Amino acid sequence: MNYFELLKRAARIFWHTKALWLLGILAGLFGQNEYGFSVNYSERIPASGSAQPDAPFADFLANPWVASFVANPVPYLVAIGAVALIVWMITTLIGWLMQGAMIDLAARVDLGDAPSLRASLGRSRKHIGPLFLMRLVLAIPTMIVIVLAALLVVPLFLAVFRTGTPDPSALFPRLFGTLACLIPLFLLNGLAGIVLTMLNVLAARACVLEDLTMRASLRRGWFLLRRNLGYTVLNWFVFLIIGAIFSFAAALPALLLLISAGQAFLHNEWTTWAMAAAIGLGVYFVVMSIGVGGILTSFNSTVWTVLFQAFQRKEGGANAVG
């Protein structure tokens, strides 16, 4: 199996099947974007003298919402967690509907069939339940890490805000202990996330292209991952490099716009150019993150699908498309 020949074939399918681009943009709009970038701008500003030196959080705590949260954070945390979970479920459901359609569409074109956006969406809708449940199951480790991080960080911040004058001798050891727990936790979750991501990619294609249940898809994905670990890691690494190049190239124009808009915001000096830069920055983020990033996401999906079908042919197993 020649990986670079597969890559070129996938690139041809991607380039000539514009319906994949549309599905990629829609997938990116609902949280399935695999390409992103970020920029930040900071500037030293003299501190306001309104706050007393012995009460550094006095102005902050004067806000009634903040004071209410500090007094009883549990209802707020539960509400935030519930809203975040509902939003995640909705975006994941719609995002994976688009992902499933991309998988089916790319697979059919790879086999020489005529592409049909409507047929691919219908096939994806048929498998949306297993696809969503699979993503939910594989996201459980990250959810546990987030909950553990909240249990460690929130009490620390509450202790700081509830103290008029934080004592560094008591604060720093607690802060160090929290970081000592969080850093290994996030590192382990990051390493596990790489493996689970590759498993999710292969299992989703097994689900759509082999008509498997969630459990059978995960078993099939794990089997193919173990049997083709080298090619799978190579493909993940190639996309890692492409993503890094995209992030760097996309961030440079955004940074130029952000400097003008950031200075105007911090100094409250909104000139015509600053307003244009702020609006342009928002438009640029939408176009690059959702538009270009979504299209590149469809390229990733196409390559993974072509690679998956090569794994199938190598195994001499099930038909690529039922």
The mean pLDDT values, 10 residues at a time, for the chain of 322 residues are 92 95 94 85 60 52 69 82 91 95 95 91 95 94 88 77 63 75 87 93 96 95 95 95 94 88 78 86 91 95 96 70 45
pLDDT, position 133: 95
**CA distance to 85, 118, 228, 296, per residue, from 134 (Å):** 16, 24, 21, 23
Scored b (16 or more CB within 10 A) or e, 19-41 reads bbbbbbbbbbbbebbbbbbebee
pLDDT, position 322: 44
pLDDT, position 157: 74
pLDDT, position 264: 78
Range of the domain at 189: 3-315
Q: Is residue 304 part of a domain?
A: yes
Q: In one letter, which amino acid is 14?
A: F
Residue matched to tokens 């003298």: 49
Q: Is residue 321 part of a domain?
A: no
pLDDT, position 173: 74
Q: How many domains does the chain have?
A: 1
Q: Which long-range contacts (CB under 8 A, 24 or more apart) does 56-62 make?
A: 56/165, 56/166, 57/160, 57/161, 57/164, 60/161, 61/161
| Tens digits of residue pLDDT in 12-28 | 999 999 999 999 999 99
Q: Retrieve residue 314's tokens.
A: 């190598």
Cβ–Cβ < 8 Å for 288, 37 = yes
Q: Retrieve residue 176's tokens.
A: 């160090």
**CA distance to 59, 72, 89, 121, per residue, from 213 (Å):** 55, 44, 20, 18
Q: Is residue 320 part of a domain?
A: no
Q: In 3-state terms, the chain is what percent helix, strand and coil (to 5)?
A: 80, 0, 20
Cβ–Cβ < 8 Å for 31, 319 = no
Q: Is residue 322 part of a domain?
A: no
pTM of the entire predicted model: 0.84
